[in-house]
A and B are shown apart, each in its own frame.
Chain A
C-alpha cells in the first residue's frame, strides 16, 4: 500500500510536468489546427537556457525561471512568424505548417547539439533547495512538491483565463474561425503570437523543472517528451486545457506504475498502449469532443 501511494505521488509529479508541456502544445494545436512539432525544440532550448544561466552565471533556479519562460516564449513567437504564419492561407496549411515546423525542429535541435557538443549535461547542484517532506508514508521533495503546485496552478490559471477573460474569448474565436475573428476586430496575428508565446513559456518552464528534477540537459530532451505530450493530449482530449492536465497526470501515473511494478523498459509500452486504447475506445479523449477543440 505504501509503495502504491509512493508510486502514485511520483506519477503525479511526473504527470504534472507532462501536463504543462502538453497544455502548451495543445493550445497551439487547438487555436491554429497545426501540429507544431518545433514545440519540442522550444522545450529543449528552455532546458539549455536554464542550464546556461545556472551553470555559467550561477543563478538560482527561481531567478532563471522568468528568464527561461520569456526566452522560450519569444523563441516560439519567432517560430510562428518564420515557420507558420505565411503558410496559413494555403489550402494545405496544416500539412505545410507541419513540414515547416519539422524543419524548425531539426535546425533548432542541431544547433543545440553543437552548443552542447553532443553531451548530456547536468544541472549544477544546489540550484534549488531540495529537502525531503514526509507526508505520512509518502516522501516527496520540496522540488517535486513545487513542480506539482506550479504546474497545476498555471494550468488552472490558463483554463480560467480561457473561459473568463476577453483574451481567452479572443483565442477561442480565432480557434473557431479566423476570418470571422478579424471581422470582429480581432488582430488574428497578435492573438496567434500570444498563443505561441504562452505555449513556449509553458514549455520553457516545464523544461527547466524537468532538467532540474531529473538532472539532465540534452539536445534531444524535448523530442523525447513530444510523444508523451501527444499521448497526454489524446488521452485528455485535443485542445482542452483541463484534458491536458488529466491526460498528463494519467500518463505520468501509468508510466510510473509501469516502472515501479514491471520494469522501466515497459514505460513507453504502457504510454503507447494508453494512446492506442484511447484512440480506439474514446478518440475524443476524457474531456470530450471536437467542439471542445475550439474551447481550448
Chain B
C-alpha cells in the first residue's frame, strides 16, 4: 500500500441533482503513479463523481483534496491549473476546432506550462498518438470516435497533469479502438510517470491496467481494494443488483 501523500483524496463526498442523491458518502484516494479503476454499472455515479472532483457537480457534503490542499470549492478552471485533467464522457472535443487547435487550447490553459514549452508538449502528444499527426489540420467534428478519444486524452496529457481522470474512455468505440486506448495506458504508464489515474468504466477492461479498484453501486462504494484481489461476487452484485431494487435515495435522507 503506498504511503506517500495521496495525489487525490475524496472524503465522504455526496452529490445531488435536485432532490435525487446521485453519490453518497464516497471516499477513496489515488496515489502518484497508481491507477484507480472506478467500476460500476450505468447510473452508479462514476461520471458524477469525476465531475464533482472538478467542481462541475454540486457537492452537498464531503471534501476533495489535491496533495492535501482542499479543492472542494475551487473553480473548475483553477482545478485544471493546479494539475487535474478530466477526459469527459463522450470525448467532448471542441468540434469546430481542428485537432491542432484543440491541443493548443489545452496547452494554453495549462498554467504550469511555460509558453515556450507549449509546442513541445503538443508534439509529445503527436508522438504518443501517431495517427493524429496526419489529422492535425482536420476539424475534430470530422474525426472517428477513436480519433476523437485520442484528441481528448492527448488534450489532457498536454497539461502534464498530476491527476488524470478518464470517464468511460472505451464508450462507443470499436473493440479495436478500445484495445488501442488501453494499449496506450499499458504501454505509456512510464510516460504518465507520477500521474495518478482514476479510470471510470462500466466494463472490466479497466482491471487490466488498474492497481486498485473502487466498485460503486447506486452511488455508494460497495468495495474498495487491490485490483488483483477483487471478489467476483462483488462485481456481479454491483452490475446485476440485489434481488430487491432500491429506489433512488432522496437528498434529504442524509449522507449515510
Asked whether A and B interact, the reply is: yes
* A-side contacts of B60, CB under 8 Å: none
A166-B108, A169-B108 are known contacts. Are A184 and B88 too (CB-CB below 8 A)? no
- Residue B56 at the chain A interface, CB threshold 8 Å: yes
A179-B56, A291-B141 are known contacts. Are A184 and B96 too (CB-CB below 8 A)? no
Inter-subunit contact B92/A180 (CB<8 Å): yes
Distance to closest chain B CB from A31 (angstroms): 12
Inter-subunit contact B109/A169 (CB<8 Å): no
The 4 closest A-B pairs by CB, nearest first: A185-B109, A185-B80, A182-B76, A294-B96
- Residue A52 at the chain B interface, CB threshold 8 Å: no
Inter-subunit contact A185/B141 (CB<8 Å): no
Q: Mark B78-97, 1 if CB is under 8 A from A, else 0.
A: 00110001101000101111
Bound CA span A177–B111, Å: 20
Distance to closest chain B CB from A101 (angstroms): 25
- Residue B77 at the chain A interface, CB threshold 8 Å: yes
What are 11 A-B residue pairs whose CB atoms fall within 8 Å in the complex?
A169-B104, A172-B97, A179-B76, A179-B88, A182-B76, A183-B77, A185-B80, A185-B111, A187-B77, A291-B141, A294-B95
Q: How large is the interface on A (under 10, 10 to 19, 20 to 34, 35 or more residues)?
A: 20 to 34
* A-side contacts of B197, CB under 8 Å: none
Inter-subunit contact A176/B54 (CB<8 Å): no
A169-B105, A183-B76 are known contacts. Are A176 and B97 too (CB-CB below 8 A)? yes
Between A166, A180, A295, the greatest number of chain B beta carbons within 10 A of the residue's beta carbon is seen for: A180
Closest to B158 in A: A184
Distance to closest chain A CB from B232 (angstroms): 35
Inter-subunit contact B94/A186 (CB<8 Å): no
Chain A 161-191 interface residues, beta-carbon cutoff 8 Å to B: 166, 169-170, 172-173, 176-177, 179-188
Inter-subunit contact A291/B95 (CB<8 Å): yes
- Residue B46 at the chain A interface, CB threshold 8 Å: no
Closest to A176 in B: B94
Inter-subunit contact A166/B104 (CB<8 Å): yes
Inter-subunit contact A186/B105 (CB<8 Å): yes
Chain A 275-296 interface residues, beta-carbon cutoff 8 Å to B: 291-292, 294-295
Between A170, A173, A185, A295, the greatest number of chain B beta carbons within 10 A of the residue's beta carbon is seen for: A185
* B-side contacts of A170, CB under 8 Å: 105, 108-109
- Residue B75 at the chain A interface, CB threshold 8 Å: yes
The total number of A-B Cβ pairs within 8 Å is: 76
Bound CA span A170–B106, Å: 9
Q: Mark B181-198, 1 if CB is under 8 A from A, else 0.
A: 000000000000000000
Bound CA span A292–B139, Å: 12
* B-side contacts of A295, CB under 8 Å: 96
Bound CA span A294–B155, Å: 19
Q: Mark A257-277, 1 if CB is under 8 A from B, else 0.
A: 000000000000000000000
- Residue B210 at the chain A interface, CB threshold 8 Å: no
Closest to A188 in B: B77
Inter-subunit contact A185/B159 (CB<8 Å): yes
Bound CA span A16–B141, Å: 33
Q: A169-B101, A182-B75, A183-B80 are known; give 17 further A-B pairs, CB within 8 A.
A: A166-B104, A166-B105, A169-B108, A172-B94, A172-B97, A173-B105, A176-B94, A179-B92, A182-B76, A183-B76, A183-B86, A184-B106, A185-B77, A185-B81, A187-B75, A187-B77, A291-B96
Partner of B105, one of A179, A184, A291: A184
Closest to A186 in B: B109
Bound CA span A173–B109, Å: 11
Inter-subunit contact A172/B96 (CB<8 Å): yes
* A-side contacts of B159, CB under 8 Å: 185
* B-side contacts of A179, CB under 8 Å: 56, 76, 88, 92
Bound CA span A186–B109, Å: 6
Inter-subunit contact B110/A185 (CB<8 Å): yes
A179-B56, A183-B54 are known contacts. Are A173 and B97 too (CB-CB below 8 A)? yes
Bound CA span A10–B140, Å: 42
Bound CA span A184–B88, Å: 11
Chain B 52-81 interface residues, beta-carbon cutoff 8 Å to A: 54, 56, 75-77, 80-81
Distance to closest chain A CB from B104 (angstroms): 6
Q: Mark A141-170, 1 if CB is under 8 A from B, else 0.
A: 000000000000000000000000010011
